[in-house]
Structure 1
Amino acid sequence: MKYFPQLLSLAAAVVLTVSCAQDDLTAKKEKLESLKGDLAKINTEIKTLEAEISDLDPEFAAQNKKSILITTAAARKGEFTHFVEVTGSVLSKKNVSISAETAGRVIEVPAIEGMRVNRGQILAMIDAEAIERNIAEMENSLELAKTIFEKQARLWEQKIGTEIQYLEAKNRKEGLEKSLASLKTQLDKAYVRAPFSGTVESVQVRLGELVQPGVPMFQFVGDSDLFIESDVSESYVGVLAKGDSVEVFFPSLKKNLISKVSAVGAIINPNNRTFKVEVALPNIADLKPNMIAVLKIQDYKNKDSVVVPSHLILSDNRGDYVFIVENGTAKKKYVKRGFSFGAETEIVDGLAGTETLVDKGFREVGDNFSVNIAQL
């Protein structure tokens, strides 16, 4: 217990020290708040005085402005081209439904969906047993008729027999030849063939089914005669014409090519106020019908334009303007814009094309602001 008074003295000293430190911290916080209040008041007075002096002394206003760090971009003098961008779809002029030319039961279907075939290749076969039997009988009859005709012809050359007998034998032979040719044509129609080289898109018939002429059996798309069809707004009537150059982009293939407008529709669709435009396509292996294509059709071109980056054009109640740099000062220049395409805009009035524009920092500057061009 002899150390207890000493412990009490030590605790009292600690409490006193903490209390003094707390009082000192509070005093410092109060002083900081007071100084901040004084600083705000002083800054307000400074700004008020600067504004009053600037109204009375323009030279002081010019010297008092802060120099803003900017970068610059040059207005471009040269060719400007505007394009209409529309989406179209790849189609084929050889997209057809194939049907049978004769009635009968399907006995074989070699074709399958997605199969690429050549012109004349068999897609399906229809039962033609009756026609084949008729052909066999007709060939036997024709063989006999030929023999009789040949003998009758030799007799007639020897002036044996009558002319009527010779003509009847000749007529019978020729008639049988024509009948045999007709039966062979019917037999050939029992084979459904590809009308041109292409791809079997769908098979709509099954083995054993009865088919009739005119009933679709296959949907078939040719490899050639592909084109792009697109709907273009009626506002471009008279702008686009057959033969105009077109840049085509296929998003799925990441390919570009240059083609021409092959046809322009003469009717406006009343539902969407558009007209049809067709663009010819070369034979490209990767192209498939119904593929999406983006068309860039040129509708305006000026070889002597003033062009500026579109994002540098601002607007106020008076109109469009840009900031240009003259003698270290930003100047507000009102302009009249023309067409815009991509990241560029044509300026039809207000600039000569030799100006230096404020680029980065153009939203921080104002008219007659002092600027400092960053050295990149």
Structure 2
Amino acid sequence: MRTAVVTVLASILLWSSAGFAQNAVVTVQTVEITPKVERGFSENSTLEAIDEVTLYPRVSGRLIKVFVKQGDSVSPGDPIAELDHRDVDAQISQAKAQIAVAQAQVAQAMAELENAKRERDRYLRLVKEGFSTQQQLDSKETVYRTAKAAVDLSRAQVRQNMANLEKLQVDLSEYTLKASIQGIVVNDYSRTPGEMITPQTSLAQIADISRLKAVIQAPESHARLIEQGMKAFVTVGEAKLDGKVYRVRPFVDPSTRTTQVEVAVENDGDLKPGMFARVFIVEETMENAVMIPMDSVISEEDGSFVFVVEDGKARKKPVSLGRSVGRNVNVQDGLAKGDQLIVLGGRNLSDGDQVTIR
């Protein structure tokens, strides 16, 4: 198949990158042979953020401060809002004091343990030397074990108090709401300091708009052909962007006979969630394809042909046709570089008729 340039007489407007062509009134226009034609289907959609989260507190409290407003950029860990946490602060101070007391008790119990151990060891020697009785040694052994148990108990109390402190510190962290993703604050809900906040109160909505998605409902006839990673185009206004299928619902909705498909597109900075979008899913790519309007093809019993202009005369050329895309058809053989294709009035011509190019 040779690459050709077809000069079109009358009307043709070719959307080559999406594989679509439709008629629009124009004068003589030169159309380059499309290097490839992408075959598929289109659906309307609305742009949405792929990653989006609404933040709710896990605790109740009075709102002290809001650190962000709508439109601000945030990163994971950035503070969003702070609630009144004085009660938790007091509990933390009390827990720290309890830890200090418990640690002092450990020190006291350790001293008593050391004293009990020395007494026990001394009586062990006295019993061996015959200057003490076994009953006296047993008494010292009991005191030693009691002192050791007191040390273990004091250490356990320290660990318990430290665990309580850690829990209170976790509770304290819940009073400062932080961003969980990179993105833009798309809604700050106009919260005012002094407002009473509960776990049911939304404080901020954050969306990562660096990548957006367009969700479509693909007809059942196309659903079986769609796979994750397939190429797609997302058209927003005059901008046409490369996209990719990144999620396909694994079942067909029996009520609508459609499957939900999500197409991801990189945001060049001009796109916003909520914008209208037209999504084209590429199901097949036809390489080195020559697409011409179907209306320019004349079919007879012995095959199909078109008329081209040569030296001011109409010349009949047989063509071999392939797949059709919209109102265009793929010419597999029959047209060459520089051919001028007649797309209007050809049905009234005969081979060799004089023609005038408009």
Letter in 1 for 2:280: K
- Tell me which residue corresponds to 1:138: 95
Distance in 1, matches of 2:224 and 2:251, equals 13
- Asked if 1 retains the 8 angstrom alpha-carbon contact of 2:295 and 2:343, the reply is no
Structure 1 position 362 matched with structure 2 position 312: no
Distance in 1, matches of 2:237 and 2:335, equals 36
C-alpha offsets along residues 206-265 of structure 1, whole Å, 9 cap, x if unaligned?
A: 32222222432222213566433223333323232222222344436x3533x4322223
> What TM-score does the superposition give when structure 1 sets the normalisation length?
0.64
Distance 1:263 1:178, change over 3 A: same
Distance in 2, matches of 1:291 and 1:173, equals 59
Report the CA distance between 1:175 and its aligned residue: 1.2
Once the two structures are superposed, the pairs formed by residues 322-337 of structure 1 within 5 Å of their partners are 322-324=306-308, 328-329=313-314, 331=316
- Tell me which residue corresponds to 2:105: 148
For structure 1, the residue ranges without an aligned partner over 5 or more in a row are 1-70
- Asked if 1 retains the 8 angstrom alpha-carbon contact of 2:183 and 2:207, the reply is yes
More helix by share: 1
- Tell me which residue corresponds to 2:179: 194
Letter in 2 for 1:92: A
Distance 1:114 1:170, change over 3 A: same
- Tell me which residue corresponds to 2:160: 175
Distance in 1, matches of 2:210 and 2:41, equals 27
CA RMSD of aligned residues (A): 4.0
C-alpha offsets along residues 132-181 of structure 1, whole Å, 9 cap, x if unaligned?
A: 11111221221122122134234434527611211221122111111111
- Asked if 1 retains the 8 angstrom alpha-carbon contact of 2:215 and 2:261, the reply is yes
> Among 325, 340, 345, which residue is 1:340 paired with?
325
Secondary structure of the 1:371 match is coil
Letter in 2 for 1:232: A
Report the CA distance between 1:271 and its aligned residue: 6.4
> Among 46, 59, 68, which residue is 1:102 paired with?
59
- Asked if 1 retains the 8 angstrom alpha-carbon contact of 2:181 and 2:206, the reply is no
- Asked if 2 retains the 8 angstrom alpha-carbon contact of 1:82 and 1:339, the reply is no
For structure 2, the residue ranges without an aligned partner over 5 or more in a row are 1-27, 119-143
- Asked if 2 retains the 8 angstrom alpha-carbon contact of 1:109 and 1:125, the reply is yes
Which deviates the most, 299-308 or 99-108?
Answer: 299-308
Distance in 2, matches of 1:106 and 1:92, equals 28
Distance 1:73 1:371, change over 3 A: farther
Letter in 2 for 1:352: G
Q: How many residues align?
A: 299
Secondary structure of the 2:70 match is coil
Which deviates the most, 162-171 or 89-98?
Answer: 89-98
Secondary structure of the 1:370 match is coil
- Asked if 1 retains the 8 angstrom alpha-carbon contact of 2:297 and 2:304, the reply is yes
- Asked if 1 retains the 8 angstrom alpha-carbon contact of 2:209 and 2:273, the reply is no
- Tell me which residue corresponds to 2:39: 82
Greater C-alpha Rg? 1
C-alpha offsets along residues 274-300 of structure 1, whole Å, 9 cap, x if unaligned?
A: 322122344755543334443332223
Report the CA distance between 1:127 and its aligned residue: 1.3
Distance in 1, matches of 2:153 and 2:102, equals 10
Once the two structures are superposed, the pairs formed by residues 1-376 of structure 1 within 5 Å of their partners are 80-158=37-115, 159=117, 162-204=147-189, 205-223=191-209, 226-251=212-237, 254=239, 256-257=241-242, 259-269=243-253, 273-282=257-266, 284-303=268-287, 307-310=291-294, 312-313=296-297, 322-324=306-308, 328-329=313-314, 331=316, 338-341=323-326, 344-347=328-331, 352-353=334-335, 358-359=341-342, 362=345, 365-367=348-350, 370-372=353-355
